[in-house]
């Protein structure tokens, strides 16, 4: 009986520690899976979120934001970037894109803001904002910060890398889709380009 009791006690102890080990391993696996999932949504070059994140995650985040806050979408495009790549080479272009991405991140709030490499030299932002004026001020500040960084670009009339932005503002409770807001931000971006680049333009349904 004593031997049986000791054996049973050892079995229970071993089972207990086996469960602890399994639970620890499961937590480590879950953490690794979460990290891998995050990497799937990160652009390797810039460190921003990628187009897959935009397509898979942003519509849900937009709906969540719209329920209780004002939101803004911004579309940025680096001016004369083709000329930059042609003159300085693509490795330099990659470095410039990294620098622009850092300036973009630094100019945005750290919470409730998602910066995405939309494609090529186009960068997209979804953010909660307190007002339309604040949204425009943020976009203008990012354009200004890049201009002050003075990254030379001999292919630009400005002599340095600049960026253009189009943005659209959506008040709380509005239910515009991601596609609609992106289209409007892109339209405002083209207005910035037409007006000389190196500026931010707020979308207007009937611009003057």
Please confirm, yes or no, whether 95 is among the known catalytic residues.
no
Output the pTM of the full model. 0.81
Report which of 149, 175, 174 is spatially closest to residue 161, judged by C-alpha positions. 149
Q: How distant, in Å, are the alpha carbons of 58, 83, 132 from that of 45?
A: 20, 20, 31
The answer, yes or no, to whether residue 163 has pLDDT greater than 60, is yes
> What is residue 15's predicted lDDT score, i.e. its pLDDT?
73
Q: Could you tell me the pLDDT band of residue 207, with boundaries at 50, 70 and 90?
A: very low
Confidence (pLDDT) at 208: 45
Beta strands in 107-199 (DSSP E): 113-119, 122-129, 163-170
Chain segment 102-144, per-residue pLDDT in tens: 999 999 987 899 999 999 999 999 999 999 999 999 999 999 9
49 against 174, higher pLDDT: 49
Catalytic residue among 95, 111, 121, 122: 121
């Amino acid at each position: 009986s004593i031997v049986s009791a000791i054996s049973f006690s050892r079995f229970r102890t071993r089972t207990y520690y086996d469960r602890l080990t399994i639970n620890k391993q499961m937590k480590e696996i879950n953490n690794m899976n979460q990290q891998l999932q995050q990497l799937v949504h990160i652009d390797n070059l810039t460190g921003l979120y990628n187009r897959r994140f935009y397509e898979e995650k942003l519509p849900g985040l937009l709906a969540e934001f719209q329920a209780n806050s004002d939101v803004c979408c911004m579309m940025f495009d680096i001016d004369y970037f083709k000329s930059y790549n042609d003159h300085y080479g693509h490795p330099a272009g990659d470095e410039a894109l990294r620098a622009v991405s850092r300036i973009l991140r630094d100019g945005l709030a750290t919470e409730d803001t998602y910066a995405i490499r939309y494609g090529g030299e186009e960068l997209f932002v979804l953010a909660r904002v307190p007002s339309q004026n604040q949204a425009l001020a943020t976009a203008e500040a990012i354009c200004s910060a890049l201009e002050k960084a003075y990254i030379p670009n001999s292919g630009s009339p400005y002599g340095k890398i600049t960026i253009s932005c189009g943005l659209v503002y959506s008040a709380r409770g509005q239910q515009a889709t991601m596609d609609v807001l992106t289209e409007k931000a892109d339209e405002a971006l083209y207005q910035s380009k037409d007006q000389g680049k190196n500026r931010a333009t707020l979308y207007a349904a009937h611009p003057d």
